[in-house]
Structure 1
Amino acid sequence: MISNIPKWMIGLFGNKLSPNVKVVETTFLSPQVKKISFQGDVSDWDFSIGYASVIRVSETEFRNYTVAYHDKENGVFDIIFHLHGNGTGSKFIERLKSKR
């Protein structure tokens, strides 16, 4: 896993490393476990339940998370996150909220 990528390299790959999806629902399953439903253009994604998906958590940092559910036709997928402290990924995921 590559967790840090230089900004210039991120610019080369554009939306392939940071696709345009939105948070449609968040649910805390417990104080440390958060399920987030995302929606967007995932038509180019190759989904396999249990495989890691890369999420950009800061300007130059990425983390791998596992897709728990997907509906490619409607552009929807869920990821269940374990929030385990003050790490960059945990802080980012904890702040995500739906825009309803």
Structure 2
Amino acid sequence: MAAERRVSPLSGGAQLLPDHTLAEVDRGAVPEPDVVVVPAVTDPADAKEARLRDWIVERHRKGAHVLGVCAGRSCWRPPACWTAGTRPPSGPTSAP
């Protein structure tokens, strides 16, 4: 599922063609998703991502689970858990 039904290149040479669009979900042409997987986005706060953010919030409001997939951070802790001047250990850690 994506904003448009078009081929999107992925890293490693694979290509992805979504079966459905966000608009099809909005108009009830396909069922509401149980899980929404959000890929890494370069600038998620950017104005051009507003429509997608709103769509994800609405899916969550309707009961979908939201899974964010990050690509490239070496630290899995949120920055609020960092100790000033040091980097936290790499790998999964639990926030305090």
More helix by share: 2
The question of a shared fold, defined as TM-score above 0.5 by the shorter chain, is answered with no
TM-score, length of structure 1 as denominator length:
0.21
Q: Which has the larger radius of gyration?
A: 2
TM-score, length of structure 2 as denominator length:
0.22
Q: With a CA cutoff of 8 Å and minimum separation of 6, indicate the structure with the bigger relative contact order.
A: 1
